[in-house]
C-alpha cells in the first residue's frame, strides 16, 4: 500500500496511474464481452453513423458500434501487450541472471545472442518472425516477447554483476547458501525496482508494436478488433468518417502516455538517485 500511496502522491504517477487503471478496466470489460453492443454485430442501416447518443463513437462501414469495438480492441491489444511483456520479463530475467552468474563463457554466448537481436529494429524483427510463423494474436505475443527479451536481459545482467561482488553475497556463500537461494533471495529481490520500471515502459512499447503489426494486417485478424486494425480499416474513410481514425488513434496515444507517466513516477520513487520532490 505504501507504493500505491507514493505513486498517487507523485504528479506523473497520479495521472498515469488513473489512465492505466481506466484502460485495464476497459480491457477486462472488453475481453469479457461487457460492451454496450456486440462488437461483431453488423447493422447495414446505421453504417457510418456519426457519434450520437445512440452510438457514442459512431459506427463503422459495416454498421458496427465503434465504442464496443474499441473496448474489445483495448482488450485484445492489452492481452498481447501483457502476455508478451510477461514472457519477455521471465526469459530476460533468467538469461540475465545466468549470464552474470555463470562467468565469461555463458556470459559471452548469451550477450552476443542478445546483441544480434538488438541489431534489428524492433518492428522489423517482429515482422520477420511473423512472416516465418504466420499472422495471429499469439504469434504477435511470441514475436513481441522475442523482440523485448534482450532489453530485460541487459537490465538484469548489469546490476547482477555488481551485486554478486557485494559482501552480503560473499557472506551467503560462506554460510553455505545454495546458488538458487542466493539468486532468488539476495539478487532477484534487489532487481525488483529496475524490473518494475522496465516492465511499465515495455508495456507502452509493446502496445505500440502490437498496433503497428495489426495495422499492417499481421497481428489480430478480422473479424476481431484491435486498435491497430481499427486504424487500418479507417484509412480510406478519413474524410467521410473521421471518427473511425480519431478514436482509435487517441486511444493508443493516451494508453502509451499513461504507461510512460507511470514508469517515470516509478523510476523516481524506486530509485533513490532519481527521486525528486513529489506533490
pLDDT digits (tens, 9 = 90+) for 102-147: 877 888 899 999 999 888 888 888 888 888 888 888 889 999 999 9
- Whether residue 279 is contained in a domain is answered as no
What percent of the chain is predicted at pLDDT more than 90?
41
- Strand partners for 65: 59
- The mean pLDDT of 224-249, rounded to a whole number, is 89
What pLDDT is attached to residue 273? 58
209/257 Cα distance (integer angstroms):
15
Q: How confident is the model at residue 1 (pLDDT cuts 50, 70, 90)?
A: low
Q: How confident is the model at residue 272 (pLDDT cuts 50, 70, 90)?
A: low
180/143 Cα distance (integer angstroms):
30
- 202 touches 154 (CB < 8 A): no
What percent of the chain is predicted at pLDDT more than 70?
96
pLDDT digits (tens, 9 = 90+) for 36-67: 999 988 888 888 889 988 888 999 988 899 99
150/70 Cα distance (integer angstroms):
32
User: Using alpha carbons only, what angle is made at residue 250 by residues 248 and 256, rounded to the nearest 5 degrees?
Assistant: 105
User: What mean pLDDT, rounded, does the chain reach?
Assistant: 87
- 140 touches 82 (CB < 8 A): no
Q: How far is CA 136 from CA 91, 143, 168, 217, 221, in A?
A: 22, 10, 47, 9, 6
12/29 Cα distance (integer angstroms):
26
**96 has a pLDDT exceeding 80:** yes
What pLDDT is attached to residue 278? 42
Which has more pLDDT, 222 or 12? Answer: 12
Grid coordinates given for 89: 520479463
71/22 Cα distance (integer angstroms):
11
- 232 touches 250 (CB < 8 A): no
Q: How far is CA 146 from CA 22, 106, 116, 229, 247, in A?
A: 28, 19, 12, 22, 30
Q: Is 156 left (phi over 0), alpha (psi -120 to 50) or beta?
A: alpha
- Whether residue 138 is contained in a domain is answered as yes
- Please report how the helices 122-133 and 137-163 are oriented relative to each other, as an axis angle in degrees rounded to 10: 130
What pLDDT is attached to residue 198? 92
81 preceded by cis ω (within 30°)? no
- Whether residue 275 is contained in a domain is answered as no
Which has more pLDDT, 223 or 243? Answer: 243
231/228 Cα distance (integer angstroms):
5
**26 has a pLDDT exceeding 70:** yes
Q: What 3-state class would DSSP assign to 245?
A: helix
- Whether residue 208 is contained in a domain is answered as yes
- Whether residue 277 is contained in a domain is answered as no
CATH code for position 29: 1.10.3720.10
Structure letter (DSSP) for residue 278 = -
What pLDDT is attached to residue 72? 93
Number of domains in the chain: 1
56/61 Cα distance (integer angstroms):
16
Q: Which of 35-39, 94-98, 124-128, 148-152 has the lowest mean pLDDT?
A: 124-128
What pLDDT is attached to residue 95? 93
- Whether residue 153 is contained in a domain is answered as yes
**84 has a pLDDT exceeding 60:** yes
- Whether residue 278 is contained in a domain is answered as no
What pLDDT is attached to residue 275? 52
Q: Which domain holds residue 1?
A: 1-270
The DSSP code sequence of 124-177 is HHHHHHHHHH--SHHHHHHHHHHHHHHHHHHHHHHHHHHHTTSHHHHHHHHTT-
Q: How confident is the model at residue 279 (pLDDT cuts 50, 70, 90)?
A: very low
**70 has a pLDDT exceeding 90:** yes
- The mean pLDDT of 211-225, rounded to a whole number, is 85
- Whether residue 200 is contained in a domain is answered as yes
Amino acid at each position: 500500500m505504501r507504493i500505491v500511496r507514493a505513486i498517487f502522491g507523485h504528479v506523473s504517477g497520479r495521472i498515469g496511474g488513473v489512465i492505466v487503471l481506466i484502460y485495464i478496466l476497459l480491457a477486462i470489460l472488453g475481453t469479457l464481452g461487457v460492451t454496450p453492443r456486440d462488437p461483431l454485430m453488423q447493422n447495414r442501416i446505421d453504417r457510418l453513423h456519426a457519434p450520437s447518443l445512440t452510438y457514442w463513437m459512431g459506427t463503422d462501414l459495416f454498421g458496427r458500434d465503434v465504442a464496443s469495438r474499441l473496448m474489445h480492441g483495448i482488450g485484445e491489444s492489452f492481452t498481447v501487450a501483457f502476455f508478451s511483456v510477461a514472457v519477455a520479463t521471465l526469459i530476460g530475467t533468467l538469461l540475465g541472471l545466468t549470464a552474470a552468474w555463470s562467468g565469461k563463457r555463458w556470459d559471452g554466448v548469451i550477450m552476443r545472442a542478445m546483441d544480434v537481436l538488438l541489431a534489428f529494429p524492433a518492428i522489423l524483427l517482429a515482422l520477420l518472425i511473423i512472416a516465418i510463423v504466420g499472422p495471429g494474436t499469439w504469434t504477435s505475443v511470441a514475436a513481441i516477447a522475442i523482440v523485448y527479451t534482450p532489453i530485460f536481459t541487459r537490465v538484469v545482467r548489469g546490476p547482477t554483476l555488481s551485486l554478486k561482488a557485494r559482501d552480503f553475497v560473499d557472506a551467503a556463500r560462506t554460510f553455505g547458501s545454495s546458488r538458487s537461494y542466493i539468486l532468488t533471495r539476495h539478487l532477484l529481490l534487489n532487481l525488483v525496482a529496475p524490473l518494475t520500471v522496465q516492465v511499465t515502459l515495455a508495456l507502452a512499447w509493446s502496445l505500440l508494436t502490437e498496433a503497428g503489426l495489426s495495422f499492417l494486417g499481421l497481428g489480430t485478424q478480422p473479424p476481431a478488433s484491435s486498435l491497430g486494425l481499427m486504424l487500418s480499416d479507417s484509412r480510406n474513410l478519413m474524410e467521410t468518417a473521421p471518427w473511425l481514425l480519431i478514436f482509435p488513434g487517441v486511444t493508443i496515444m493516451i494508453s502509451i502516455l499513461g504507461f510512460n507517466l507511470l514508469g517515470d513516477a516509478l523510476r523516481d520513487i524506486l530509485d533513490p538517485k532519481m527521486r525528486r520532490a513529489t506533490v
